Structure 1
Amino acid sequence: MNAAAEERVPVLVVGGSLVGLSASLFLGRLGVRHILVEKHSDTSRHPRGRGNNVRTMELYRVAGAEQRIREAASVLADNHGILQAPSLTGEEQEWLFKEIDPGGGLAKFSPAGWCLCSQNDLEPVLVRCARELGGDLRFSAELLSFDQDREGVTAVVKNRETGEHSTVRADYVIAADGPRSPSRERLGIGQTGPGDLFHNVSITFRAPELAAAVGDRRFIACYLTNPEADGCLLPVDNEADWVFHAPWHPDQGETLEDFTDERCIDHIRRATGVLDMEVQITGKAPWHAAERVAERYTAGRVFLAGDSAHEMSPTGAFGSNTGIQDAHNLAWKLAAVLDGWAGPGLLDTYETERRPVASATSARASARSAEHSHPGYAAAPGAGGGRQSGVLTVALGYSYPRGAVLGTAPELPVVPARMQLTGAPGTRAPHMWLQRAGVRQSTLDLYEKTLVLLTGPEGAAWRAAAANAAERWSVPLPSYSIGTRPEDDLAPEKGADWAEVHGTTPQGAVLVRPDGFVAWRAEGMAADPEAELDRVLAAVLCRG
């Protein structure tokens, strides 16, 4: 082995797919030096993982990447809904849902919106953004092994192009290395859940004639239900390039080699109902739908994120979004600990907060697959029945009953029955539009790098206490007064009441974390605001 000098870095990210690249972007925004290693030579070339939900787009918005992502996704900007039909050519068809945001109701909850951007288009954007922020992204670099001690992690990395081995010494490791995570295996972390749900082969193909059969039905996906040739059709450009997910049954002895070009072409023709269509197969990739959650997210200084921590059915597009949100939750906590304004115990709250979210979300994804009769999924009788939380509530309305929060109701479910973004501790802080020096911005735009204290005009004592606490605790803690006076920092738009939106009173205060979740809320003025903020900061930042 040709050993090079040991490199030292605060964070090593293992895996350069959506979650690892998002972790790099978020760490870069927070000024955390890091190295990312990815064993493949480039980003994904296969169009998959396309549904980026509103919470994910909020995070990309604050990180400065939203506009670039929407530009990369422009070709599918007008595609909405999921269609179900025996074929594209028959009269029988049903929209499982036709609009992602019917009536535009999402605007009251968020400044962002859903975005249909395939993984092969999104990942290059993340690479560019992360590198512009100083991220050291290394493709064709495979993690061979790692060992950790009380001070850090020592990793051995192989350059797959040259064969050279190098050593990286990191304070912490984010393992975003996929569903068959070697890192998770090395740590001996097991998984819970039902396991495999169904298997598909994702087939990319060119068929310019298919656009005429699709017509003006601009769907996200079409579930084709011919019992002799079922599957899921997805547009790539709405014209010539398409993806078809064909059910695969390895439990019945079926192998990938059985999916010859001839078989795939015949299956696609019969499924779509366009029997004489010219089809050119351009690629095939197996994928597995499963419901699994890691028993632990943390082992010492190594943290699991994304598919290494959880797998879930694709219905509802929850999987990659949950992983990206893992990375964001972890990034600010690593930055806070590395910068010295939070205690190491804050990192324990990563698992406390994110694992219950994954468990609830993966169960909801499986139920939604049953509700939609996803091709290839033979759900158990009764699966998906009963009242279920809607997709938006699962994507945006989840909460952290325990963790780096104070004043929560731990007995409440992680995913509520309906959306309740009213400023309660443990929930994503409410969105409201503000004016700041003549610029319109959302309250969510205030949250990224520090804790933030919000008050109204009657909260001067809270703001003074925050300034003193920031100095005393060496914690970045800006505070903002929201009101209509010239001296107020932010002005609400006409008719909006800051205190009402945030579930407090004009004398109250709300402490919001860098990830936009409410850490604590005071309904009124405390007898001793400084003592109260001392108590809150000690608890939230794990500084005894």
Structure 2
Amino acid sequence: MNRTADGRLPVLIVGGSLVGLSMSLFLGRLGVPHLLVEKHSGTSHHPRGRGNNVRTMELFRVAGVEPAIREAASVLAENHGILQADTLTGSDQEWLFKEIDPGGALKRFSPSGWCLCSQNDLEPVLLQHAKSLTGELRFSTELLSFEQDADGVTALLRNRETGEEQTVRAQYLVAADGPRSPVRERLGIGQTGPGDLFHNVSITFRAERLAEVVGERRFIACYLTDPQGAGALLPVDNRAHWVFHAPWHPERGEALEEFTDERCIAHIRAAAGVPDLEVEITGRAPWHAAQRVAERYRVGRVFLAGDSAHEMSPTGAFGSNTGIQDAHNLAWKLAAVIGGWAGPGLLESYGRERRPVAVATGERATARSAEHRHPGYDVTPGTGRQRGVLAVALGYRYPAGAVVGADPDGPAVPENFAADGSPGGRAPHVALRRAGVSISTLDLFETVPVLLAGPDAHAWHGAAELVGKRLGVPLTAYRVGTGTEHELAPEADADFTAAYGIAADGAVLVRPDGFVAWRSADAARDPETELTRALEAVLCLR
């Protein structure tokens, strides 16, 4: 394990589920040494958290793992939509939506797409790739305690198999240790929001004949509304293995032990509408839907990410995606500060950016559960179907933080999706060619800030090299045009300047996480001074 000159690890990650593994992957791609500890002995065995939205898949694309994830998810590649029915064999059948991307319109906005990959299939892929990078990953290892001071964090770890204890010194600690986060509790960070919404028991089972009942209906989930079989059915392999989410009411004194095999089998048979269906129960696990957000995402050198920072209703899979995107936002900032090309103040922007997104997304997730009448959530939905789901997945913004020129009064999650290249928003996808190879603009953003200049913006391009060297910032610059002097060429049907809201002599600065940090719509009298001011403000260098 690589350490700094004083023997410290750069980063200690606590928690090795989706968010912790994603943090390890992203830090590893950025060349940051780190240690991840996870108290469980391995990755998840339970098929849950399956919806990976288009933004998450963009991040995995840039990190080089999208093909492996899609291979792991291939068995459910043809499953789309949410079905609502009284029973599987009943006459009351309604598709809440039948296609995730009807007509393939999403291709205009992204080189990636949604992916249905259960947590038990996704985590091993992330683990395999993360292990090959700059991190050390230890399972069966728990955090016992930690203390921090002005220079770092001292953590006491214990191997749960051997009982051996070890003290580790790290520059920063990232807590991805779940909704009951011991780290958050130790820091004394409170939470806001309505709290618990509803409770379910997730039942895994085997029923080969159920595939005949489902037939050609390849859904992501089917909500069953018959009182004797209310719940949600989710396919695992579309053949023999399934998951059923049954409503659970601990607030009424209902104990988890009451969900016996006999009760679960009867419930599943009622949901299917097949009284003699052969069912083998293979497992059960409780889960709790809640809406909470931590009051702070950072105390000193300790950061919260994923469920430790926010809990959301599962409808729409917004929680896991928001957590993975937390990790991506924080990873480049840690890398920049540790690498010395950003000031420590940059880390304060993590909570300023991510917390408003979590608050707004959590509200959308709760409203979607009501709209879909999620089993166990006994509330009256609002009027009308939700719009702007793509705005949540792809259009969230940072009105304040490591950006210059964003609208500080703008919403973190707008009502409708718009990709306009303005500061604070995700850099739009534009199809390009580099050295004859087709790429997306999104493929340019991962390790360093990037200046994209219009076809006539030679002054901006020249300023980037001078300013980057003077500030010690690894800034990469590209000119986008059709001439031989341009490093990137737009595809025939692509309009780079229109997508980014600049003239031919304008430029845009994009952060390593693919968010627009600053934009000059056209030329400037003194491009070096303008770009210096922008970089200093974004990276907290002054």
Q: Give TM-score scaled by structure 1 length.
A: 0.98
Deviation at 1:91, TM superposition (A): 2.3
Paired residues of 1:7 and 1:168 also in contact (CA < 8 A): no
CA-CA distance at 1:229 after TM superposition: 2.1
Alpha-carbon deviations, 1:120-141, whole Å to 9, x = none? 0000000000001132000000
Distance in 2 between residues matched to 1:531 and 1:186, nearest whole Å: 45
Residue deviations 1:354-382 (CA, integer Å, cap 9, x gap): 00000000000000001110110012x4x
- 1:3 maps to none
Asked if 1:511 is matched to 2:525, the reply is no
Answering whether residue 453 of structure 2 is matched by residue 460 of structure 1, we say: no
Residues 388, 417 of structure 1: 8 Å contact kept = no
Q: Is the 8 A contact 1:7 1:167 kept in 2?
A: no
Q: Deviations over 1:269-306 (max 9, x none)?
A: 01111110110000011000000000000000000000
For residues 12-161 of structure 1, what are the structure 2 equivalents within 5 Å? 12-161=12-161
Q: CA deviation at 1:497?
A: 2.1
- Sequence identity percentage: 71
What amino acid is aligned across from residue 142 of structure 1 in structure 2?
Answer: E
Could you say what secondary structure the match of 2:178 adopts? coil
Contact kept, 8 Å, 1:198 with 1:377, in 2: the verdict is yes
| Aligned AA (1:334) | L
**Does structure 2 conserve the Cα–Cα contact (< 8 Å) formed by 1:404 and 1:541?**
yes
**CA deviation after TM superposition for structure 1 residue 390, in Å:** 2.2
1:478 partner letter: T
Shift of residue 456 of structure 1? 1.6
Q: Write out per-residue CA displacement over residues 469-526 of structure 1, whole angstroms, 9 at most, x where no aligned residue.
A: 1100010111001100012101101132211111110010000000000000001111
Give how far 1:384 is off: 3.5
Q: Which amino acid aligns with 1:212?
A: E
CA distance in 1 between counterparts of 2:499 and 2:208 reads: 50
2:486 equivalent among 485, 488, 493 = 488
Contact 1:298/1:304 (<8 A) preserved: yes
Partner SS state of residue 8, structure 2: strand
Look up the SS of the partner of 1:281 in the other structure: strand
Is 1:434 equivalent to 2:432 in the alignment? Answer: yes
Aligned length: 537
Question: Quick one: distance in 2 between partners of 1:257 and 1:158?
Answer: 31
Give the equivalent residue in structure 1 for 2:211: 211
* AA aligned opposite 2:50: R
Does the 8 Å CA contact 2:202/2:243 hold for their aligned counterparts? yes
Secondary structure of 1:421's partner?
Answer: coil
SS for the counterpart of 1:434 is: strand
Match of 1:540 among 535, 538, 541: 538
Contact 2:371/2:385, CA 8 A, preserved across alignment:
no
Matches of 1:502 and 1:268 in 2, distance apart?
A: 51
CA distance in 1: counterparts of 2:277 and 2:532, whole angstroms: 70
Q: Could you say if the C-alpha distance between residues 387 and 226 of structure 1 is closer, same or farther in structure 2, counting changes exceeding 3 Å? A: closer
Contact 1:85 1:92 survives alignment (8 Å): yes
**Worse-superposed segment, 112-121 or 127-136:** 127-136
In structure 2, distance between residues paired with 1:384 and 1:44 = 35
TM-superposed deviation, 1:386? 5.8
Equivalence for 2:419: 421
Maintained 8 Å contact 1:389/1:416? no
SS at match of 1:49: coil
Matched, 1:405 2:403: yes
Contact 2:518–2:534 under 8 Å retained in 1:
yes
- Give 1:7 deviation, angstroms: 6.7
Instruction: Say whether residues 1:172 and 2:177 are aligned partners.
Output: no
- TM-fit CA distance, 1:438: 1.2
Query: Structure 2: which amino acid aligns with 1:407?
Result: G
User: SS of the counterpart of 1:480?
Assistant: strand
What residue ranges of structure 2 are gaps of 5+ in the alignment?
A: 1-5
> For residue 196 of structure 2, what is the amino acid of its counterpart?
D
Distance 2:466 2:317 in 1: 44
- Give the aligned partner of residue 295 of structure 2: 295
Matched, 1:252 2:249: no
Deviation of 1:410 after TM superposition, in Å, equals 1.0
Distance 2:266 2:388 in 1: 37
Distance in 2 separating the partners of 1:390 and 1:404: 25
For the Cα contact (< 8 Å) 1:197–1:289, is it kept in 2? yes
Q: Which amino acid aligns with 1:528?
A: D
Distance in 2, Cα, partners of 1:495 & 1:518 = 23
**Post-superposition offset of 1:171:** 0.3
Instruction: Summarize the Cα distance change of 1:385–1:302 in structure 2 as closer, same or farther, 3 Å threshold.
Output: farther
Shift of 1:388: 4.2
2: distance between equivalents of 1:377 and 1:230? 11
CA distance in 2 between partners of 1:91 and 1:80 (Å): 21
- Displacement of 1:227 after TM fit? 1.6
Structure 1 gaps, min length 5 = 1-5
Structure 1 stretch displaced more, 455-464 or 107-116: 455-464
Q: Distance in 1 between matches of 2:130 and 2:256?
A: 36
Secondary structure, counterpart of 1:217 in structure 2: coil
Cα displacement string for residues 35-94 of structure 1 (whole angstroms, at most 9, x for unaligned residues): 000000000000000000000000000000000000000000000000000001122200
Map of 1:327-346 to 2, 5 A cutoff?
A: 327-346=327-346
The 2-side partners of 1:12 and 1:73 are apart by 30
Partner residue, 2:367:
367
